[in-house]
Every structure is written in structure tokens, then in C-alpha cells.
Structure 1
């Protein structure tokens, strides 16, 4: 869906982005991860032509974005900012309806879509006529997301979308983000400096430093097959928690004992990560958990069996 080919951006003698290449598949969530000044936000802004590259090409769905008018391009791409970018003198409804107005939607179509998104994002209809400063940070961010999604664009760009939120609000929005069906149908590039967020939300991660991509791969690739010492050092302080978020039950499937479904136990899909599984054991009070895979395959495990499989998996990765 998105191809960045040999792209650079120079500001005078400073190479903000230095000859990077990557691709994003349809309906994939790619995270651009790195410290401040590594070039990730500049890269994002080049994809919707808020910044023009010094060299290289960017393609969306096979078309070179340089051949499109910038305003037309931006109307076909959802864009979410860290500070939500809402207009303070517009109501919630007016903020969300900006793009539909630019696209000349009729009032009925706009109203229907607005109501649909507010319901999906757990926003009461009572908020339609209030102004952004009357909302909490989490509510403002949901409005910013609704505005980006309202025209149903195939591509969504997100620049530190949850960076201004407190930890509790951010954790809740992460859960909503992963569950929202609208987002599962999008091709997403998200910028963050939060390693935990990248591992929780990303299908793949591009770890950047000094304008270059140091390694691109799945969260598990970065943890268990780091390209160099920089990658190891970048992740080492949070490694155990990252492992719990990167490894999913499906990765451990062959290491888990066979078992049949039992009554009155929690059931999780095999796509669940270890962190969420451990939370089920701890906070849901489950003594056993049933895992379902492909509808026909079922295993029931206790905590000790999960941790045994986790350790076997880690040992296996270490020796490959």
C-alpha cells in the first residue's frame, strides 16, 4: 500500500532523513520508533507532503504522490496529531465534519457518519455541540481520531497520537485502538518514542536513529534477532515486559500441552499476547485459561504451563 524508496530530507547540511526505504502492506500497522530527532516525524510528514523530500520517491497504492496535488492527497489520508489539532472555536461536530465539507458531502451523509463514529469511539451524542476545551485529553484525542477516520481513508498517519495523555488514559485508548474495527481495515503508519506503545500496537517496527532505519521487523524480530548492539541497548531496560507484549499465544502453541475446554474458565484467542494473558490470570482470577485457535483447535492451560512454554520459546530463540 505504501512504498518509501530511497527517500532523504536535508535541512541545509543536516540530514534529517538519510536514504531510507521501507514498505507497508495493506491493513498493516507500521511503527516508526526512535528518540527525538531521529527523523521519524519528518518521514511521516513527507508521506502526506507536508514536507517535500530532497530525493527519493513515495508511492501510495502504486501511485507516486509527487504526481498528485498536495491538498487532494491529504484529503485521501487520515492524519492524527499529538495535540489532536482540533480547532478550538469549532464544536465537536464541526471539527469532525471538516473533511466531509471539503468533499461536498450532503448533510444527511455527514450526520450519519458522525453519529456512527462517535458511538464506536464511546463518545456521547451530548458532546456534539461542546467545544474542545470542555473535553478531557482522552476525549479530545478520540475526536481527533474521528476526524481522521470520517471520510474512511485507506491510509492513516499518526504522529505521537497518545503522547500527551496520562498513563491510565493512554492504556484505555490503546485497548480501544486495538479493538476498533475501523482501524483493522486501515494501513497505518504511527510515530512514537514510546517503546512499550510500539510493541503493543505495531505489526512491524522501523527503529530509526540519526535519519536512518537501523532495523525493520516484527517486535519479536527486534527482541530475538537484533541487528546490532544499538538495537540491544535500545530495548534492554524494558526487555522482559516487551517480550510479554511481543510473544503471542500462537507462538507458543506447539509448546503448550494439549487440553480440552473446561467450564467456567476464561477463553482467549491464540492471537492474544502474553501480557494480556498474564493479566487474565492475575486480575480476572482465572485458574485456567482456554485458548482457541482456528475455531477447531482448543487448549486449556494453567499459569505454570504458560510460563514453562514461554521459557522454552526463549531458549529456542537464543539458540537459533
Structure 2
């Protein structure tokens, strides 16, 4: 859906982006991850031509973006900013209607689509007639997302979309983000410097440094097959938490044996698609000593103790690191 081919951006003698190449599949969520100044936001802005590349080519759905009018290109791309980018003198309804008005939608179509998104984003319709400064940070970010999604663009670009939110609000919006059906139909590129956010939301991650991509791969690839010391060091402080949030019970399935556990309360039921972190949270909350793990695809059930689960996790860690 998106192809970035040897793209560079120079500001005078500074190479902000230096020969970057990657592809994003249809309906995939790619994360550009890195510290401030690594070139990730410049890369993102070149995709919708807010910044023109010095060299290289960018294609969306097979079409070179430099061969299109920039205004036309941007109407087909949703764009979400860190500080939401809402117009302060427009009401919420007027903010959401910006692109539909440019596309000359009739009023009824705009209002219907706006109402649909407000419901999906858990926003009361009473907010439509108020101004952005009357909303909380989380509400403003949801309105910014609604504005980006209203015309149903196939591509969504997100620049540190949750960076200005507190941890509690961010965690809640992450959960909504993953559950929102609108986003499952989009090809998304998201910029973040938050490692946990990248691993939680990304199908693939491009880790950048000094204008170049150091490694492009799945979260599991970066954790267990780091390309070099830079990747290892970048993830080192949060490694255990990232592993728990990345490894699913399905990944451990072949290491788990069905057990008969006597003298223990009936265990909690979990899905083998769940990650270990989510399972540990549930296990702690219910004070459970055993788990009933369901594989819905193959209609299998395994009962395991908490100790067996953790033993399988340690085996998986050791095997993947050795590979």
C-alpha cells in the first residue's frame, strides 16, 4: 500500500533522513520508533508532502505521490497530530467537517458520518456544539482522530498521537485504538518515541537512528533477533515487560502440557491469543493457581498451573535468544 524508496531529506548540510526504504502492507500498522531527532517525523511528513523529499520516491497504492497535486493527495490521507491540531475557533462539529466540506459532501451525509464516529469513539453528541478548549486532552485526541477518519481514507498517518496524554488516559485510548473497527481497515504509519506504545500497537516496527532505519521487523524480531548492539541497548531497560506483552499463549502452546491438578480451585478461562502480561494481570486479580487455555481455532483446551506457564515462558526466552 505504501512504498518508501531510498528517500532522503537534507536541511542544508544536515541529513535529517538518509536513504530510508520500507514498505507497508494493506491494513498493516507500521511504527516509526526512535529518539528525538532521529528523522521519524520528517519521514512521516514526506509521505503526505508536508515536507518535500530531497531525493528518492514514495508510492501510495502504486502511484508516485510527487506526480499528484499535494492538496488532492492529502484529502485521501488521514493525519493525526500529537496536540490534536484542532482549530480552536471551530466547534467540534466544524472541526470534524473540514475534509467533508472540501470534498463537497452534503450536510446530511456529513452529519450521519460524524454521528457514527462519535458513537464509535465513545463521545457524547452534546460535544458537537462546543469548542476544543472545553474538552479534556483525551476527548480532544478522539476528536482529532474522528476528523482524520471522517472521509474514510485508506491511509492514516499519526505523529505522536498520544504523546501529550497522561498515562491513564493513554492506556485507555490504546485499548480503544486496538478495538476500533475503523482502524482495522486502514494502512497506518505511526510515529512514537514510546517503546511500549510501539510494541503494543505495531504490527511492525522501524527503529530509526540518525536518519536511518537500524532494524525493520516485528516486535518479536526486535526482541529476540536484534540486528546489533544499538537495538539491544534501546530495548534493554524495558525488555522483560516488552517480552510479556509480546509473547502470546499461542507462542507457548507447544511447550505446555495438559495437566490434572488436584486440590486446586477451578482455574480461570483465557484465550491462547492473549499475551502473557494480560494473563498475569487476570491471574493476580483472581488469585488463580491454574489456567484453562482455550484454542478457539482448533477447539482445544489445556489446563496448566501458573508454575508450568512461567516455566514455558523461560524455555521460550532461552530458545529464541539462542536462535
TM-score category, normalised to shorter length: over 0.9
TM-score (norm 1): 0.95
Alignment of 1:159-170 (within 5 A): 159-170=159-170
Asked whether the equivalents of residues 267 and 289 of structure 1 are also in contact (C-alpha less than 8 Å), the reply is yes
1-side partners of 2:61 and 2:259: how far apart? 45
Match of 1:216 in 2: 216
Match of 2:280 in 1: 278
2-side partners of 1:244 and 1:153: how far apart? 34
Match of 1:145 in 2: 145
Match of 2:254 in 1: 254
1-side partners of 2:160 and 2:170: how far apart? 12
How far apart are 1:290 and its partner, in Å? 2.9
Give the 3 Å change call, closer, same or farther, for CA 130–268 of structure 1 in structure 2. Answer: farther
Give the 3 Å change call, closer, same or farther, for CA 49–267 of structure 1 in structure 2. Answer: farther
TM-score (norm 2): 0.95
The reply on whether 1:108 has 2:108 as its aligned counterpart is yes
Residue 71 of structure 2: SS of its match in structure 1? Answer: helix
How far apart are 1:257 and its partner, in Å? 2.1
Runs of 4+ in 1 over 3 A off after TM superposition: 263-269, 284-287
Asked whether the equivalents of residues 292 and 301 of structure 2 are also in contact (C-alpha less than 8 Å), the reply is no
Could you report, residue by residue, the CA deviation over 1:220-246 in whole angstroms, capped at 9, with x for unpaired residues? 111111111111111101110011112
Match of 2:171 in 1: 171
Residue 129 of structure 2: SS of its match in structure 1? Answer: coil
Match of 1:292 in 2: 295
Give the 3 Å change call, closer, same or farther, for CA 86–259 of structure 1 in structure 2. Answer: farther
2-side partners of 1:286 and 1:106: how far apart? 56
How far apart are 1:270 and its partner, in Å? 2.7
The reply on whether 1:40 has 2:50 as its aligned counterpart is no
Could you report, residue by residue, the CA deviation over 1:198-235 in whole angstroms, capped at 9, with x for unpaired residues? 01111110000000000010111111111111111111
The reply on whether 1:51 has 2:51 as its aligned counterpart is yes
Segment drifting more, 263-272 vs 279-288: 263-272
Aligned residues: 318
Q: Which runs of 5+ in 2 are unaligned?
A: none
Asked whether the equivalents of residues 4 and 20 of structure 1 are also in contact (C-alpha less than 8 Å), the reply is yes
2-side partners of 1:296 and 1:136: how far apart? 44
Asked whether the equivalents of residues 28 and 203 of structure 2 are also in contact (C-alpha less than 8 Å), the reply is yes
Q: Which runs of 5+ in 1 are unaligned?
A: none
Could you report, residue by residue, the CA deviation over 1:174-197 in whole angstroms, capped at 9, with x for unpaired residues? 111111111111111000000011
The reply on whether 1:315 has 2:318 as its aligned counterpart is yes
Residue 128 of structure 1: SS of its match in structure 2? Answer: helix
Match of 1:203 in 2: 203
Asked whether the equivalents of residues 268 and 292 of structure 1 are also in contact (C-alpha less than 8 Å), the reply is no
How far apart are 1:299 and its partner, in Å? 2.9
Alignment of 1:5-44 (within 5 A): 5-44=5-44
1-side partners of 2:258 and 2:128: how far apart? 51
How far apart are 1:165 and its partner, in Å? 0.2
Asked whether the equivalents of residues 272 and 293 of structure 2 are also in contact (C-alpha less than 8 Å), the reply is no
Give the 3 Å change call, closer, same or farther, for CA 147–289 of structure 1 in structure 2. Answer: farther
